[in-house]
Amino acid sequence: MGRRKPKRSSKRKGPQQAEDGSSGKPQSSREQSSPAKPELFRRWLSVWSLVGAVALLVFAAALVAVRTWRHEVPDSPEAVSAGSTTPASARTGSSLPGEVPELPAGLEPLAPGEHETRVRTFGRARNPRDGAVLVWVPPTAELSGPAMRAGAFLMGSVKGQGFTNELPQHEVELSGFWLYQCEVTRAQFLRFAKAILGGGAEDLELGAGERQELAALRRKLEGEPSSAQHPAMGMSWALAAAYARWANCELPTEAQWEWAARGPSGRRYPWGDEWDAQKCCTKENQGTPTFPVGSFPAGASWCGVLDLAGNVWEWCSDRYAEQYSSSRQVNPRGPRNGTARVVRGGFWLTEQHVSRSACRMGLPPDTKKDGVGFRCAFRPTGP
């Protein structure tokens, strides 16, 4: 008998499969899409991973740029010692970009490590008369920003964003100047009082009433030695101006004060546009009398000036007017007529909206209230 052919198995392999293992019969739409799902998911994940990586790089670059431009200040008010990791540029007092002029006669360079903090400035100097530290405030013509117009900054507020006495917003061009980094302290004011009342040779043209006022302040300050580094306060405008003359300085103009506080970006508060109760001494976070000057380095302005919000109101040199002139001004010194004098910055009992850098108020020049102090400006360069 011949060999019988083996029977073909009637059992199929199931749906006929191709060599690659796929089914030979038509698949339903669900069956067709199932194998593609993992591949689509992998592609989707790859795309979004790439997008996320690019976004992270952009964010990191922006963060570096912001930290480079803005002040790097510590979270606490403690000064940084000479042996710290503070960059050398910060120790020399010129860590922010920009040209700083040679120190004028009457100011001295700071010794290495003297009055050192991590608040960044364009330049620092010392007034040998009272030992105060001054910072350089650049002229408006050298800077640009959202609050700048052709070399001038926008002073005041837009209607609806402040009080009516902050209107109209107008262009102001300023020369560079040196400004006290902190308010004049009680210790410094006591030194002035002793020099004048002790028979000092300075002729400050003080009247009898001003000398009596100075004598009363001297007795008060001598009785409170523990508050020597708090801001001096309670003096009239005339006595604050007399101190400035004694220190070979002057009271800052209102425009100088606002420029030092707001800068080319037109900051709402000295440190930025968002309220931060931990960066100043006001009713909303402290509600107590003054802090030692410089206690809030995180509240530094764009050029490194401290305590421009809260602590004490600060006398300015200008007479007060209910509204500004709308015309562009160059190194303005305020209206020629008027009795009241400008104060700026608020004090320890003012609220957030009064701590804005555009906020202003007028007081009678003979006001001698606690809560009103001052700082000085070295006579500005230029016209």
| 3-state secondary structure string across 283-330 | CCCCCCCCCCCCCCHHHCCCCCCCCCCECCEEEEEEECCCCCCCCCEE
Region 347-376 average pLDDT = 96
| Euclidean distance between CA atoms 318 and 362, whole angstroms | 10
Asked whether residue 61 carries a pLDDT value surpassing 80, the answer given is no
Asked whether residue 172 carries a pLDDT value surpassing 90, the answer given is yes
Residues 227-252 pLDDT 10s: 999 999 999 999 999 999 999 999 99
Residues 121-130 pLDDT 10s: 999 999 999 9
Helix/strand/coil percent split, the chain, to 5: 30, 15, 60
Average pLDDT, the chain: 81
| Euclidean distance between CA atoms 128 and 96, whole angstroms | 24
Share of residues in the chain with pLDDT > 90 (%): 63
The reported pLDDT for the residue numbered 59 is 64
User: DSSP string covering 74-139, please?
Assistant: -SSSPPPPTTSS--HHHHHT--SSS--PPPPTT-BPPPTTTT--S---S-EEE-TTT--EEEEE--
Give CATH for domain 88-182+229-378. 3.90.1580.10
The reported pLDDT for the residue numbered 96 is 63
- Ordered by start, the domain boundaries in the chain are 88-182+229-378
pTM for the model stands at 0.75
Asked whether residue 108 carries a pLDDT value surpassing 90, the answer given is yes
Residues 269-320 pLDDT 10s: 999 999 999 999 998 876 678 999 999 999 999 999 999 999 999 999 999 9
Q: Residue 71 corresponds to which tokens in the numbers above?
A: 């002040």
The reported pLDDT for the residue numbered 100 is 74
Q: Residue 63 corresponds to which tokens in the numbers above?
A: 């963060």
pLDDT higher at 57 or 124: 124
- Inter-residue contact 375 to 279 (CB < 8 Å): no
The reported pLDDT for the residue numbered 201 is 56
Asked whether residue 220 carries a pLDDT value surpassing 70, the answer given is yes
| Euclidean distance between CA atoms 135 and 377, whole angstroms | 10
pLDDT higher at 81 or 194: 194
Region 344-364 average pLDDT = 95
Region 159-175 average pLDDT = 96
| Euclidean distance between CA atoms 360 and 261, whole angstroms | 13
Other C-beta atoms closer than 10 Å to the C-beta of 382 total: 12
Residues 259-278 pLDDT 10s: 999 999 999 999 999 999 99
